[in-house]
Amino acid sequence: MKQQSAKIGVREYVSIAVLMVGTKATEDTPANLYSQVQNAAWMIPLLSAGFFFIPLYLLIKTMSLYEGKDLFSVIKKILGKYLGFMVCLVIFIINSFAVSFDTRTYTNIIRSFYFTTTPTLIIYAILMFICAYGAKKGLQHIGSVSYLIVFYAVVSLYVALWLGTKHANINSMFPLWGPGAFVLVKEGAQKVTIFADFFLLTMVLPYLKSNKAFKKGTWFSYIYICIQISMSILIFVCMFDESLGGTAYPFHTLIRYISLGHYIPNVEIIFFIIWIMAAFIRFTAFLYINALMFGNLFKIKDFEYLIPSLATIYLMVGFIPEAPINVSLQFKPIIWSTAGPMFAGISILLWLVALIRGEFKHAKNKNIM
């Protein structure tokens, strides 16, 4: 029997988004933010969300002109064949590097905290293998699996944070404005990369049940995630204070720090299990979106077959940096500072071109008719 690919609902979409973007609080993002703006780091996600809100809103508005089309088709339609192709290619390349270095970061976390003697390659290969397998199953199944585990992931994060508050000192969040309001705004504008994933998620729009579901899901997860990240960073700041700048992966330090009563001192494995599940989902979704982009760029219909090869390439690229420190100090900042602002720029550009070309008026007339 042929299995037709069914569309995913709001629940699945929100679960993917929450697991994909929400995990950012548990990697090196908080430390990265702290090194820039010190104890006001928790405000950056809120500010960035505010900054990214406008481009995202415009993008979704532009997308709604073309019912059931994905991001790349819309870009090509608005910017023309050649310019559109170039823009799409750039997005794809940036995203590919992002996946490579992100997966490497996660491998580093696993290796340095839990499997110190296991070779990086084995950990990395398992991660990529499972993600490729999941991605090949298709978006609907990614959605289903994320829906099955999202509840546990979110609850476990809150439990960990709640246990962390016992060691926290609320005074660490002062001075409230950190290095000053101006720096905050500047950093907030640059760090919109935190929410860049939402830009990429517009790729999966045709696979959703309706545009309305997409809009609803996006805004709900957007608001939820910005609160979640900001809250986690606040707790990290309160817990670690000054030393957060030197703590590469605060979430994992936190779960090592906490205990359940006096008798069970180390509970990190419990949280690790759920965290790694979320990580698997995150990269599965990423891989799928990248394959989707690649298929769209080069007009390959059965793009699912590309996923194993793409995963292998990402593994090899991600394996280039020799040491973990290289990843977070040399390679990732490039993506950090370019991806977000650029995606925001593209979104606004698309809207502007569509506006100038009168697409909105056109659509309005069509609706009236």
Partner 1 sequence: MKKKIPKLLMKSLNTEPEFNEESNVEDIEIKKQDISPDIEKNLETFKKIFTVPDNADVKLREFTIQQLNRKAFLLYISTMADLQNIMAGIEGPLIDSEHPGSKIKDIVSYPIEKTSTNIGDITEFIAAGVTALFVDGDPDCYLFETTKIRGRSIEKSENEVIVKGAKEAFNEKVIDNIALIRKKIKNENLIVKTQTISKRSRNTVFLVYQKDLVNEELLQNVKERLKSFETDSTIDLSILEQYLEERPRSLFPTIVYTERPDRACAFIEEGHIILLMENSPSCLILPATFWAMFHSPEDHYLRAPYGNFIRILRFLALFVACFTSPIYLAITNFHVGMIPPDLLMAIAGTRERVPFPSIIEVLMMELAFELIREAGLRVPSPIGPTIGIVGALILGQAAVQANIISPIVIIVIALSGLSSFIIIDISMNFAIRIARFLFIFTAGFIGIYGVTALFIGGLFYLVSLKSFGTSYFAPMTPHSFSSKDLLIRHIPVKERFRPGYLKPRDMVKQRKG
Cβ 360 to partner 1, closest distance in Å?
34
Cα–Cα distance, 352 to 203 (Å, whole number): 20
Q: Tell me: does residue 280 bind partner 1 (CB under 8 A).
A: yes
273 binds partner 1 (CB under 8 A): yes
* N- to C-terminal Cα separation, the chain: 42
- Residues 240, 271, 272, 288: which binds partner 1 (CB under 8 A)? 272
% helix, strand, coil for the chain, step of 5: 80, 0, 15
Determine, following the binding rule CB under 8 A, whether residue 299 of this chain makes contact with partner 1. Answer: no
**Selected range binding partner 1 among 222-230, 259-267, 311-319, 320-328, rule: CB under 8 A:** 259-267
Tell me: does residue 264 bind partner 1 (CB under 8 A).
yes
Question: Does residue 269 interact with partner 1 by CB under 8 A?
Answer: yes
The residue type of 344 is A
Q: Is 305 in the site for partner 1 (CB under 8 A)?
A: yes
Window of 23-31, 96-104, 267-275, 336-344 that interacts with partner 1 by CB under 8 A:
267-275
Closest by Cα among 174, 187, 205, 221 to 33: 187
C-alpha distances out from residue 188 to 175, 195, 337, Å: 18, 11, 11
| Region binding partner 1 by CB under 8 A among candidate stretches 66-74, 279-287, 314-322, 344-352 | 279-287
Is 182 a binding residue for partner 1 by CB under 8 A? The answer is no
CA distance linking residue 144 with residue 126, whole number of Å: 21
To the nearest whole angstrom, how small is the minimum distance from the Cβ of residue 270 to partner 1?
8
Find the binder of partner 1 among 46, 57, 89, 137 (CB under 8 A).
137
Half-sphere exposure of 9 (CA within 13 A, CB side): 4
Cα–Cα distance for residue pair 165/159, rounded to 1 Å? 10
**Cβ-proximal residues to 1 (8 Å cutoff; 6+ apart), any chain:** none
Closest approach of partner 1 to the CB of residue 288, in Å: 12
Q: Which of residues 1-30 bind partner 1 (CB under 8 A)?
A: 1, 3, 6, 8-9, 11-12
| Residues of span 327-356 touching partner 1 by CB under 8 A | none
CB neighbours of 288 closer than 8 A, spacing ≥ 6? 135, 138, 139, 142, 307
Please report how close the Cβ of residue 11 comes to partner 1 at its closest, in angstroms: 6
**What is the rounded distance in angstroms from the CA atom of residue 168 to the CA atom of residue 39?**
13
Structure tokens at 294: 């690649």
List of E strands, the chain? none
**Could you tell me which stretch among 30-38, 171-179, 241-249, 277-285 binds partner 1 (CB under 8 A)?**
277-285
Question: Least distance in Å: CB of 102 to partner 1?
Answer: 17
Under 8 Å between Cβ of 325 and 108: no
Side chain identity at 157, as an amino acid letter? L
304 is an interface residue for partner 1 by CB under 8 A: no
Chain residues 95-124 in contact with partner 1, contact rule CB under 8 A: 110, 114-115, 118, 122-123
C-alpha dihedral sign at 56, 62, 66, 72 = negative
Footprint on this chain of partner 1 (rule: CB under 8 A): 1, 3, 6, 8-9, 11-12, 110, 114-115, 118, 122-123, 126-127, 129-130, 133-134, 137-138, 140-145, 147-149, 263-269, 272-273, 276-277, 280-281, 284, 302, 305
